[in-house]
């Protein structure tokens, strides 16, 4: 008997099935992607999507909130416990709205903000020129050192003291090294800036104790709730009690209407999973896998920005291979290995045809893969890079990849895998 979706909209049903099959049959190395548990999927697809809940616990504009209030309070309490934060707002729709809410809470149009240069690994919402943050605010941006590929904190301090920004950002989308949040906090204090930390990529590593935390150091901490945290697609803001009211007012009514209650419930589930000891093991394994993958790629002559990684992410500069990032990404995809082409620091190529490739280990770690599999993945990548036009080679590797994925099934990608022993929760 067909499902309700299949009977009602067979086209969408077919496309979802095909995407599910794709996710389960390819190695996913995009560092911002992951697999959620079956429990998180179940909460995301629940009847909670039917309910409007503008406002906060005890101060709603709609009746019928007795269960929604409990769900949101659970998500908040679990977030505070996992991250050690005094206050948490779990209503932002995603990471970019969370960052915009932080601006709205503390900044006026035209204020000076300082974040990492996008090609150096920063995020659009940290002041890049095409983003609303670069259009509404006076943005200045620091870059990584050209030789080392790492953040030069002396350079950041010098620029901050000269520019005196209202906000100093730490964090980004392609930062393969540990971020020294303590040093950023000291710089912000010295130049009189508010310190905002964006932990969207590393939230799960922080939750699992595999990366230092900015909580207690930063005035505001923003994050997505998927990526390494392995929750639904959403956002979150953490702050001290001093800043709690300003943050809450910025999210609602300042920027958003009703929260997505199904997402809030799924986040509560993911945070419950993050409270388990198995999540700590998972977070540390992400880093171990990334280091093993990076080491093998280096052996094959791939040039890694900053020379390697401390976290989940590896940024590869393909200039020495005389191979554009887009060309390799597409060849790898045909071979069953999914990555994304990405700019590298001081890139001479255009953003849509850059010199780099960005990869990471959250999804493969969720599947239960370890260092042995990382070595094999690096070997496959090297084979493809050496013969990007060899379709027979790509087809052969794609078949081998499918066999590995069968051995390491991910939740939600087949009728039998469920929440496997490979996944925390």
Mean pLDDT of the chain: 95
Cβ atoms < 10 Å from Cβ of 240: 16
User: What pLDDT does residue 216 have?
Assistant: 97
Q: Which of 112, 233, 330, 334 is catalytic?
A: 233
User: What pLDDT does residue 265 have?
Assistant: 98
Report whether pLDDT(268) > 90: yes
Q: Which residue has the higher pLDDT, 195 or 411?
A: 195
Torsion of CA 28, 32, 33, 35, to 10 degrees: 120
Report whether pLDDT(419) > 80: no
Determine the topology of domain 42-274 in CATH: 3.40.640
Query: Catalytic annotation on 227?
Result: yes
User: What pLDDT does residue 413 have?
Assistant: 72
| pLDDT tier for residue 425 given thresholds of 50, 70 and 90 | very low
Q: Which of 52, 69, 280, 330 is catalytic?
A: 52
Query: Catalytic annotation on 233?
Result: yes
Mean pLDDT, residues 105-120 taken together: 97
Domain 281-407 has CATH 1.20.1600.10: no
Report whether pLDDT(411) > 90: no
Q: Which of 72, 198, 248, 347 is catalytic?
A: 198
Query: Catalytic annotation on 224?
Result: yes
Report whether pLDDT(296) > 90: yes
Report whether pLDDT(387) > 50: yes
Tell me which long-range contacts 271-274 makes (C-beta under 8 A, separation of at least 24). Answer: 271/75, 271/78, 271/79, 271/81, 271/82, 271/231, 272/78, 272/425, 273/37, 273/39, 273/40, 273/230, 273/424, 273/425, 274/78, 274/82, 274/204, 274/207, 274/208, 274/229, 274/230, 274/424
Q: What percent of the chain has pLDDT over 90?
A: 95
**Exposure string for 376-414, b = 16+ CB within 10 A, e = fewer:** bbbebbbbbbeebebeebbeebbeebeebbeebbbbbbb
Mean pLDDT, residues 248-270 taken together: 98
Q: Which of 33, 54, 383, 390 is catalytic?
A: 54
* pTM beyond 0.85: yes
In DSSP terms, 314 is beta-bridged to 359
- Round to whole Å and give the CA distance between 74 and 268: 6
User: What pLDDT does residue 416 have?
Assistant: 35
Q: Which of 224, 365, 413, 423 is catalytic?
A: 224
The residue extents of the domains of the chain are 42-274, 281-407
Report whether pLDDT(134) > 90: yes
User: What pLDDT does residue 404 have?
Assistant: 98
- The β-bridge relationship of strands 194-198 and 220-224 is parallel
User: What pLDDT does residue 412 have?
Assistant: 76
User: What pLDDT does residue 414 have?
Assistant: 61
Report whether pLDDT(409) > 80: yes
Query: Catalytic annotation on 52?
Result: yes
The string of pLDDT tens digits covering residues 344-375 is 999 999 999 999 999 999 999 999 999 999 99
Mean pLDDT, residues 9-22 taken together: 96
User: What pLDDT does residue 2 have?
Assistant: 80
Q: Which of 28, 78, 177, 227 is catalytic?
A: 227
């Amino acid at each position: 008997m067909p499902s309700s979706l299949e009977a009602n909209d067979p086209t969408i049903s077919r496309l979802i099935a095909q995407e599910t099959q794709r996710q389960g049959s390819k190695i996913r190395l995009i560092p911002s992607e992951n697999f959620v548990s079956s429990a998180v999927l179940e909460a995301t697809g629940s009847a909670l999507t039917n309910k409007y809940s503008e406002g906060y616990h005890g101060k709603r504009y709609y009746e019928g909130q007795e269960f929604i209030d409990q769900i949101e309070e659970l998500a908040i309490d679990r977030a505070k416990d996992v991250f050690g934060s005094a206050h948490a707002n779990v209503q932002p729709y995603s990471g970019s709205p969370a960052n915009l809410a932080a601006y709205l809470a503390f900044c006026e149009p035209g204020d000076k903000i300082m974040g990492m240069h996008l090609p150096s690994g920063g995020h659009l919402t940290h002041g890049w020129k095409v983003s609303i943050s670069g259009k509404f605010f006076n943005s200045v941006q620091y870059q990584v050192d050209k030789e080392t590929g790492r953040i030069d904190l002396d350079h950041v301090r010098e620029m901050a003291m000269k520019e005196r920004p209202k906000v100093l950002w730490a964090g980004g989308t392609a930062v393969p090294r540990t971020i020294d949040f303590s040093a950023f906090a000291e710089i912000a204090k010295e130049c009189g800036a508010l310190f905002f930390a964006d932990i969207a990529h590393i939230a799960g590593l922080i939750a699992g104790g595999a990366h230092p935390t900015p909580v207690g150091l930063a005035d505001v901490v923003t994050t997505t709730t998927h990526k390494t945290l392995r929750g639904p697609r959403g956002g979150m803001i953490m702050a001290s009690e001093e800043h709690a009211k300003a943050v809450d007012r910025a999210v609602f009514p300042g920027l958003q209407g009703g929260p997505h209650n199904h997402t809030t419930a799924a986040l509560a589930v993911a945070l419950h999973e993050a409270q388990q000891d198995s999540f700590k093991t998972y977070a540390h394994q992400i880093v171990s896998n990334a280091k093993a993958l990076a080491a093998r790629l280096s052996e094959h002559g791939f040039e890694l920005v900053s020379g390697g990684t401390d976290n989940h992410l590896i940024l590869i500069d393909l200039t020495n291979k005389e191979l554009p990032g887009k060309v390799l990404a597409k060849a790898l995809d045909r071979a069953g290995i999914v990555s994304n082409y990405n700019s590298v620091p001081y890139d001479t190529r255009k953003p849509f045809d850059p010199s780099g490739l960005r990869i990471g280990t959250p999804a493969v770690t969720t599947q239960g893969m370890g260092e042995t599999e990382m070595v094999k993945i690096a070997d496959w990548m090297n084979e493809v890079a050496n013969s990007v036009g060899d379709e027979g080679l790509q087809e052969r590797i794609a078949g081998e990849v499918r066999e590995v994925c069968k051995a390491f099934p991910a939740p939600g990608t087949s009728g039998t895998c469920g929440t496997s022993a490979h996944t925390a929760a």
